[in-house]
Amino acid sequence: MTGSVLDLIGAACQAREATAADAVDGVTTQVVASPASTEETSALLRACHEHGLAVVVRGHGTKLAWGTPPERVDVVLDTTRMDALVEHSRGDLIATAGAGMPLARLAAHLAEGGHQLVVDDLVAVDRPDGPGGSTLGGAVATNLSGPRRTWVGAMRDLVIGVRFVRPDGTVAKAGGKVVKNVAGYDLSKLLCGSYGSLAVITEVTVRLHPLPEADRWVGTSVEPDRLAAVLAEVVQSQEVPHAVEVRVRPGVRPAVVTLLSGTEAGATARAETLRDRLATLGCEARVHDVAPPWWGVLLHPGQRGGTPVPDGSRPVLLKATARLSGIPQLLEEVTAVQGTATGSAGSGVLYVTLPPGDEVHDHVQRLRSVSTRLGGSLVVLDAPPQTKPGLDSWGAVPGLELMRRVKQEFDPRRTLAPGRFVGGL
């Protein structure tokens, strides 16, 4: 059986038989194929399309379990051989790299020119054999973003061009390598956050920002009933906060930490000004030159910042959003169900983990209805295998019928990640 899938994809690219470790959220696959180029990706997809094989794209696999488990998988398309830095044009503040480029390695390349891609890798991990964490393609496919989205937006706001392969093997691009460009539809945005369900991204061009000279964090812990006032003060500050993060845990006072980046003197002075403003609200804050250990990473229950994920840990992980003024209320609800939340109070996006238990389903429903009422949404990113099937991962999706039609146009045979995305697309 396995031999036959390998036969069907033929000489398209390097491929091997899959192992149990290659399963996608519990769904086993036959083959792992690793194209080294856009052309090989095209040949591979043509073969899969022709033979009705289902394909799931994988970078480092750090977010592969996010979303609904796919209905079936025949081929895992591993992008990690497409990991070249194609261009870093320092004078233009743009860079192009293969989808398999690890964000951590890209960051190191860019830093040589004094630049950065302002995306916080929420799943960053150090591995002895090289950079772990997200790849560039994975960051685009999940529209990854962390604390500093308050400053420059999410991945969708930083991608200026994509090269990709359609499920039938057609190679196409959208956008380009200039930031300002309105020629044609902005397919980069359509592919951002599409979870590999429309096309296989092979190359990405991003907009860069200069690395700041200094970062300062202003941290404080507040009584829950003061949280709304503190957040309003910080979020509306004219000191240009680059991130406003909040963290609540059962039995611990909420923490609010604000990042101010800039020149050495400027960032320090702005941080001190903000600290003094908070003091007038009766809130004792301190200025730090390092981030707290939970900054910009999704921590598992029991995990401390900077330590590896506990073996086999797979909590109920939610992304819950709300209008800015609704964040305190959403946090209150998270606390009420004994959840932990960390996220951007500056942009209205929280990552929530819930303790396991019989009530998870009800808690998700409750938080979802609160998020929706507050102008946002709730997505179950991940959950333990025994819990996930009972949860509605995506909830009600505005515009779902149009999305169905988009999927139908791009992938009528449902070659890519069938069933993984909203509405079972």
Partner 1 sequence: MTSAGSRGSVTEVLADLRGVVPERQLLTDPSELDTYACDGLAAYRVRPALVVLADSADQVAATVTACARRGVPFVARGSGTGLSGGALPHAEGVLLVTSRLRTLHEVRPQDQRAVVDPGVINLQVSKAANPHGYYFAPDPSSQQICSIGGNVAENSGGAHCLKYGFTSNHVLSLDVVTPQGEQVTLGTEAPDAPGYDLVGAFVGSEGTLGVATRATVRLTRLPQEVRTVLAGFASTDQAGAATSAIIAAGIVPAAIEIMDALAIEAAEKAVSCGYPAGAGAVLVVELDGSALEVEHEYARVEQICREAGTFEFRMATDAAERAEIWKGRKSAFAAVGRISPDYIVQDGVVPRTALPEVLRRMGEISAERGVRVANVFHAGDGNLHPLVLFDASEEGATERAEEVSGMILDLCIEHGGSITGEHGVGADKARYMPRMFTDDDLDTMQLVRCAFDPEGLANPGKVYPTPRLCGERPRVVQGAHPLTADGVEVF
Separation between Cα atoms, residue 108 and residue 316, nearest integer Å: 32
CB-based burial label for 155 (10 Å; 0-12, 13-18, 19+): buried
**CB 311, min distance to partner 1, A:** 30
Q: Which is nearer to partner 1, 170 or 303 (CB)?
A: 170
C-alpha separations of 298 from 350, 353, 391, 401 in Å:
11, 9, 21, 32
Centre a 10 Å sphere on the Cβ of residue 36 and count the other Cβ atoms it contains.
17
Q: Which range, of 128-136, 151-159, 249-257, 276-284, touches partner 1 by CB under 8 A?
A: 151-159
- How many residues bind partner 1 (CB under 8 A)? The answer is 105
The structure tokens 């146009």 sit at 409
Q: Which is nearer to partner 1, 34 or 96 (CB)?
A: 96
Centre a 10 Å sphere on the Cβ of residue 84 and count the other Cβ atoms it contains.
14
Separation between Cα atoms, residue 44 and residue 408, nearest integer Å: 21
26 in contact with partner 1 (CB under 8 A): no
Separation between Cα atoms, residue 30 and residue 20, nearest integer Å: 10
At 77, the amino acid letter reads L
Separation between Cα atoms, residue 419 and residue 425, nearest integer Å: 5
Q: Which is nearer to partner 1, 114 or 385 (CB)?
A: 114
Q: Which residues contact 50 (CB under 8 A, 6 or more apart)?
A: none
C-alpha separations of 243 from 2, 49, 108, 334, 382 in Å:
48, 43, 22, 21, 25
238 in contact with partner 1 (CB under 8 A): yes
Q: Looking at 376, 382, 416, 417, which residue binds partner 1 (CB under 8 A)? A: 376
246 in contact with partner 1 (CB under 8 A): no
Interaction mask 109-128, partner 1, x per CB under 8 A: -----x--------------
68 in contact with partner 1 (CB under 8 A): no
Q: Which residues contact 286 (CB under 8 A, 6 or more apart)?
A: 218, 219, 220, 275
CB 165 within 8 A of CB 45: yes
Q: Looking at 14, 109, 125, 153, which residue binds partner 1 (CB under 8 A)? A: 153
Q: Which is nearer to partner 1, 264 or 359 (CB)?
A: 264
312 in contact with partner 1 (CB under 8 A): no
239 in contact with partner 1 (CB under 8 A): yes
Q: Which is nearer to partner 1, 132 or 271 (CB)?
A: 271
Q: Looking at 10, 11, 92, 389, which residue binds partner 1 (CB under 8 A)? A: 92
**CB 260, min distance to partner 1, A:** 8
Q: Looking at 6, 23, 232, 255, which residue binds partner 1 (CB under 8 A)? A: 232
Q: Does residue 121 come out as left (phi exceeding 0), alpha (psi in the -120 to 50 range) or beta?
A: beta
Residues 268-307 touching partner 1, rule: CB under 8 A, are: 269-270
57 in contact with partner 1 (CB under 8 A): no
CB 388 within 8 A of CB 380: yes
Q: Looking at 174, 230, 283, 352, which residue binds partner 1 (CB under 8 A)? A: 174
Residues 339-368 touching partner 1, rule: CB under 8 A, are: 347-349
Token reading at 363 = 């808690």
89 in contact with partner 1 (CB under 8 A): yes
210 in contact with partner 1 (CB under 8 A): yes
**CB 214, min distance to partner 1, A:** 11
Q: Which range, of 66-74, 125-133, 279-287, 358-366, touches partner 1 by CB under 8 A?
A: 66-74
230 in contact with partner 1 (CB under 8 A): no
| DSSP letter string, 118-160 | ----TT--EETTEE-S-BHHHHHHTT---TTHHHH--GGGTEE
**CB 177, min distance to partner 1, A:** 5
Residues 190-209 touching partner 1, rule: CB under 8 A, are: 190, 192-194, 198, 209
Sheet holding 55-58, edge to edge: 14-17, 31-34, 75-78, 55-58
27 in contact with partner 1 (CB under 8 A): no
Token reading at 123 = 């799943």
Centre a 10 Å sphere on the Cβ of residue 74 and count the other Cβ atoms it contains.
21
23 in contact with partner 1 (CB under 8 A): no
Q: Which is nearer to partner 1, 224 or 375 (CB)?
A: 375
Q: Which range, of 32-40, 90-98, 214-222, 305-313, touches partner 1 by CB under 8 A?
A: 90-98
Q: Which is nearer to partner 1, 273 or 338 (CB)?
A: 273
Nearest to 2 by CA among 75, 51, 57, 70: 75
Residues 396-425 touching partner 1, rule: CB under 8 A, are: 397-403, 405-406, 408-410, 412-413, 418, 421-423
